[in-house]
Amino acid sequence: MKAVYKYFSPLIAAFFFLLLWQDKGHAQGKCLIVSDIHYNPDSTYKLQPGNDSNHELLEQSIKAMQHTLPNPDFIMIAGDFIWHGDRNNGYKISKETKTAIIKTITDVFQKHFPHVPVIATLGNNDTYQEDYDIQDGDFLNMFADQWEKGGVKVFNAPFREKGYYAYTIKDKYPDMEFVVLNTTLLSVVNNNKGYNAKADSMLKWLNNTLLDAKNKGQKIWIVSHIPPGKNVYSMLNKSATTDMWGSNYSQTYTNLIVKYAPQIRFSIASHTHFNDFRVFCDAGGKPVSYMRVVPSISPNHYNNPSFEVADFDKDYRVTNETTYYLDLKTLSTTGFVFKPAFGIGTSGLSAVSPAGILSFINGHSTPQSPVPTGYIQFYNVGAQPVENDTNCYSKTFYEYLSTSVLRKVK
């Protein structure tokens, strides 16, 4: 894979059995969270650590989701449906193959979850062009058509033109809105590709959309692919560029999140294939919001395949989140059994909230406070870290933790 192989922006997975606001007695609904499927349609492709998903993993993962939560209120997918490609072939994947990949994935989801709204964002691999290139109208329309062929219309304007949109499940949750970004526009990889005007336009749209939701009294869930902030792989390797997003987009986004924090109830990204987070602080340093960076179905970063089940209350705050994972080490003997992952008590995190996450970061971002072993398990979704790959072995990993705190400029 190209630059995406270098995205090991780590951190926490203490979001397994995630207990946020402690209000279980007022649960309103449940949803599934999925990311980075990276499906390879080649029937001879093997399921193993370091590879992307094959058809067996795709089918079995979605069957496990259905078994775990047969009737979710909705499904969120945080991007990267298309596999990374064959490095021996220059990572080239034909337009026809990419179309077939999206069709296959949507077919399997709609087979097991008919009539369930799927709120999906685009990843950097999800394009007819090269990795990280902006999607053209043909891809955007194909993508929307495939997901909507089951009858549930989700992809409102401006998705079919620009790849981002807002959506409300009006018949069930009219006071909650999904705001879905196209973060390929913001990627540092695209600094010199002339996408700046389009990125600025999306951030202006984001501000207007959040303001409109505030005026309507709606609560917000934000869905994205590439998270803002630093790339741990680049930092640990002393690269000249260490940002995930280009220009000053991380700062602009942080300012917006802080501004609308009272309306934002939950936020997800993915891209790294591991468990991670971002904490957003106001100009005085007070933590006011956080972003959950979820792990992947694809095990190509030597992580275990996983998906999340989240409970939310009547105020749309996530009250409990459970990660289900497939242990690839025991696959040959146990088969495709997705197990609930570790409890947060073994991670080193005392509380999963903006304040709790900030406290964890501050407590483990010096040479004298190494990252807990439990955290490393969370980060890798139970898989054994691979030296020089996941970077959990790095003695300087603690340097990354403090960079996951994003602060509003006064």
Give the per-residue pLDDT at 345.
56
pLDDT digits (tens, 9 = 90+) for 100-156: 999 999 999 999 999 999 999 999 999 999 999 999 999 999 999 999 998 999 999
pLDDT digits (tens, 9 = 90+) for 17-35: 343 333 343 458 999 999 9
Q: In terms of Cα–Cα distance, which of 403, 375, 266 is closest to 321? A: 266
d(CA 258, CA 248): 16
Report the phi/psi class of residue 64: left, alpha or beta, with left for phi > 0 and alpha for psi in -120 to 50. alpha
Contact by Cβ (8 Å): 42, 83? no
The 8-class DSSP code of residue 272 comes to S
pLDDT digits (tens, 9 = 90+) for 193-221: 999 999 999 999 999 999 999 999 999 99
Question: What does residue 323 show for φ and ψ, rounded to 5 degrees?
Answer: -95, 130
Mean pLDDT of 354-368: 89
* Domains assigned to the chain: 3-407 (3.60.21.10)
Give the per-residue pLDDT at 391.
59
d(CA 227, CA 270): 7
pLDDT digits (tens, 9 = 90+) for 370-379: 777 778 788 8
By three-state DSSP, how is residue 3 classified? helix
pLDDT digits (tens, 9 = 90+) for 218-254: 999 999 999 999 988 788 778 888 999 998 999 999 9
